[in-house]
Structure 1
Amino acid sequence: MVRPKEFDERVALAAAMQVFWEKGYEATSISDLTQRMNIQRPSLYATFGGKKELFEAALKAYAQSSLAYVESQLRSDTSVKASLLAYFQGLIHGAGGSNPDFGCLCVNTMVELAPHDPVFADITSDFQIRLTELFQRTIDHGMQSGELSKQLNAASIARILTLTAIGLSVTMKMKPDPSRVEQVAEEILTLLE
């Protein structure tokens, strides 16, 4: 007879995601994971597979949650400029329970694992594509509402915003002098003029 699981998989996965986000994939041990997930090694392996499979599941969950949060944030204000400003300020100061010192788990994975592992390259590439689509829809909305000029190239600006968000996320992990980044959010909006 199979024993029923004595833990909530979603809670355990969220705990694993937090450990990977704080420490990175390579620096995270199985002991770190089982301790934070509050499960035993056999349960981890039986439920999630190995460390790589657990990380893949955690990264996919993070990407989905992060994109849903960004979409919600970009729709939170009637002004496209105000919502984009809030988004980029959130990258600088932390928003939605995030810690700028940890960066973005997807961006961290782009740097740490994606160059060497096609599975993680695909996940992080998809994340970038979907983030760019969110930015483009937001800019298109601003153009349709009349807030933004109809002469803007929404696709091009969306790609620039995605790369800027990635770069800013990496920069914030380095704990820069606040004077170097405080005005960045406003400066980014000059792309929309």
Structure 2
Amino acid sequence: MVRPKEFDERIALTAAMQVFWEKGYEATSIGDLTERMKIQRPSLYATFGGKKELFEAALKAYVQLSLTYVENKLRRAPSMKASLLAYFQGIIEGSGGSNPNFGCLCVNTMVELAPHEPSFSLITGEFHARLTELFQRSIEDGIRTGELSNQLNPSSIARVLTLTAIGLSVTMKMKPDPARVKHVAAEILTLLE
């Protein structure tokens, strides 16, 4: 007879995601994970597989949460420009449950692991593509409402915004002088003029 699980997989996965986000993949030990997840090693292996499989599951969960957050951020503002300003300011300030010292788990993975691990590269590539789609849709909406010029190329600008968001996330991990990044979010919006 199979014993029922004595823990909530979703809660355990969220705890694992937090550990990987704080420490990075390489620096995170199985002991770090089991302690934070409040489960035993056999339960971790039986439920999630090894460290790599657990990280993949945590990264996929993070990607979904992150994209949902971005989509909501882009839709809730009174205007398209205001939504982008809030999004980029959020990267600088670490809003949305983020911590600028940790950066973005997906971006960290792009830098640390994706070049060497095809499965991580696939997940981060999907994040990159979906973020670009969200930006493109938002720009197209701005053109449709007349807030933005119809001379803009939504797909080109969306790609630039995605690369800018990734670069800004990496920059914020370096803890730059606040004066250097204070006006960056507003400066990014000049791409839409």
- Output the TM-score relative to the length of structure 1: 0.99
* Unpaired runs of at least 5, structure 1: none
- Output the TM-score relative to the length of structure 2: 0.99
Once the two structures are TM-superposed, the CA of residue 63 in structure 1 deviates from its matched residue by: 0.1
* Equivalent residue number for residue 173 of structure 1: 173
Once the two structures are TM-superposed, the CA of residue 9 in structure 1 deviates from its matched residue by: 0.1
For the aligned residues, what is the CA RMSD? Answer: 0.5
Once the two structures are TM-superposed, the CA of residue 78 in structure 1 deviates from its matched residue by: 2.7
What is the distance in 2 between the residues matched to 1:27 and 1:59? 16
* Equivalent residue number for residue 5 of structure 1: 5
Does residue 162 of structure 2 align to residue 162 of structure 1? yes
Deviations 1:131-185 (A, max 9, x none): 0000000000000000000000110000000000000000001111001111100
Deviations 1:8-53 (A, max 9, x none): 0000000000000000000000000000000000000000000000
Among the aligned pairs, what percent are the same residue? 79
The runs of 4+ residues in structure 1 deviating greater than 2 Å are none
Count of aligned pairs between the two proteins:
193
Written as runs of structure 1 = structure 2, the 5 A alignment for 1:39-188 is 39-188=39-188
Counterpart residue identity of residue 147, structure 1: E
Does residue 22 of structure 2 align to residue 22 of structure 1? yes
What is the distance in 2 between the residues matched to 1:180 and 1:158? 24
What is the distance in 2 between the residues matched to 1:93 and 1:144? 30
**SS of the counterpart of 1:75?**
helix
What is the distance in 2 between the residues matched to 1:104 and 1:167? 11
What is the distance in 1 between the residues matched to 2:146 and 2:95? 28
* Unpaired runs of at least 5, structure 2: none
